[in-house]
Structures are given as C-alpha cells and as structure tokens.
Amino acid sequence: MRKFLLILVIVAFSSMAFAGTVNLTLVSVNGQIAENGTDYVNPYTGSLNGGKTVFPIFCDDLLNGMGIGQTAQYYALNGGGNLSQGRWSTQQYGKEFYLVSQFAVHPGSEVALTEAMWNVTTPGSFGDNGKTAMFNPLFWGIMAGNYTPNAAFMKSFTVFAPANGTQEFITYTSQVPTPEPSTLLMMGSSLIGLAGLARKRLFR
C-alpha cells in the first residue's frame, strides 16, 4: 500500500509541473511604445501558477511575443546558477541584469533601457536616436558593457526561460512570489484525494 501511495504522489507532482516549470501569466504591459512603433517597453507585470500576487517582469527578447492574459510554462532560473536552459549566454544575462537594475533609479528612461536590453540579445535592433545619454539605447549599451557583475548581483535576479517557445522574462529574485495558500491547499487536497482513492481500491 505504501509503495502504491508513493507512486500516486509522484504522479501527482509530475502532473502539476513539467520538469520543474512554473506557469507564468502576462498580466499587463507598460503603455509606452518602443521607437520601432510596435513593441511595448518594460516593465510588464506577471503572476505565477494562477496566484493573485502580481510582480514586475522585464522582457529580454524582441523576436518573440506573448499576449496579455496568456499563460505559458517557464523554467525559473536563478541568475547565479546554471542558466543553460535560458536563451542567452551568462555574459549577456549579466548585461541584461544591469539594465533591469537601472529602471528603478532612472524613471523616464524605460524606452531607452528596454531597447538596450533588446540590443543585447538582438544586436543592432535600435541605433543612435540622437537623444541625450539616459534616453539613448546606445548609451545604456555602453554602460552595460562596462559593468562587471559579481556573484551576489547575479543571484539577485531570476530568469523565466520559456519551456515552450514564448517570451523570456527577467525579474528580481526577491520579488518572485512564493506559492500562495490557495495553491498549496489545492495541491494538498489533490494528494489527499489520491491517497483516499488508493485506500478505497486496496480495501475492495
């Protein structure tokens, strides 16, 4: 009986997440548009696993899209660990993390910072727009290239790397929500139900 219950528990956890993934929903986007006239700039907001907690997320990929309200499976990768499931190199992520860190301290530079992020992963997408330093993506590209992140800085970011080909996002590790009570209750109820079903079948 114990062996059978253990198998059921493993199956239950496997069905809830694919290879350690989380379900991320794009909740909202920034109202500002990039200079290409089509793409919304950072930051966006997202939620995890159907939870109500909304947190900021930063798009690092110009070539893929995701609609508001769309949910997809992601690998949640700590920036200080193995990033091989992400789309970019560790060096590129270091630049992206630096640029994300500048949004809070340079309000009003969202367009230039986002375009600089997209230049890191899709070089040459945005050129010199003739604007002054903090409003020019090339300025931020130089700043990101000159920054050398340490291990503690890298760990302070989390990459949501897509498991199914949709958009990739970055956020602060400290702002990643923990499982909410409703999610944990649902998980616990599912496991209890499976255990009860197994017990009933064994005693028939």
Q: Is 193 inside a domain boundary?
A: no
Q: What's the pLDDT at 180?
A: 54
3-state secondary structure 49-62: CCCCCCEEEEECCC
- Per-residue pLDDT, averaged over 173-194, amounts to 59
Return the closest-CA partner of residue 98 out of 175, 177, 170: 170
DSSP string, 108-124: T-HHHHHHHHHHHHSTT
pLDDT tier for residue 6 given thresholds of 50, 70 and 90: very low
Q: Is 42 inside a domain boundary?
A: yes
Structurally, the chain folds into a number of domains equal to 1
pLDDT tens digits, residue range 41-69? 999 999 999 999 999 999 999 999 999 99
Q: What's the pLDDT at 178?
A: 83
Q: Is 51 inside a domain boundary?
A: yes
Q: Is 148 inside a domain boundary?
A: yes
Q: Report yes or no: 121 and 61 within 8 Å, Cβ to Cβ.
A: yes
pLDDT tens digits, residue range 70-99? 999 999 999 999 999 999 999 999 999 999
Q: Report yes or no: 179 and 49 within 8 Å, Cβ to Cβ.
A: yes
Q: What's the pLDDT at 164?
A: 85
Q: Is 7 inside a domain boundary?
A: no
Q: What's the pLDDT at 20?
A: 82
Q: What's the pLDDT at 179?
A: 64
Q: Which residues of 102-131 are buried (b: 16+ CB within 10 A; e: fewer)?
A: bbeeeeebbbbbbbbbbbbbeeebbeeeee
Cis peptide before 177 (omega within 30 of 0): no
pLDDT tier for residue 200 given thresholds of 50, 70 and 90: very low
Q: What's the pLDDT at 165?
A: 77
Q: Is 162 inside a domain boundary?
A: yes
- Count of all residues that appear for the chain in the document: 204
pLDDT tens digits, residue range 110-156? 999 999 999 999 999 999 999 999 999 999 999 999 999 999 999 99
**Residue type at 3 in one-letter notation:** K
Geometric angle at alpha carbon 26, from 22 and 29, rounded to 5°: 150
Q: Is 185 inside a domain boundary?
A: no
Q: Greatest CA separation found in the chain?
A: 78
Q: Is 72 inside a domain boundary?
A: yes
Residue 31, domain extent: 19-176
Q: Tell me how far apart the terminal alpha carbons of the chain are, to the nearest angstrom.
A: 13
103: pLDDT strictly greater than 60: yes
pLDDT tens digits, residue range 30-44? 999 999 999 999 999
Phi, psi of 161 (to 5 degrees): -90, 125
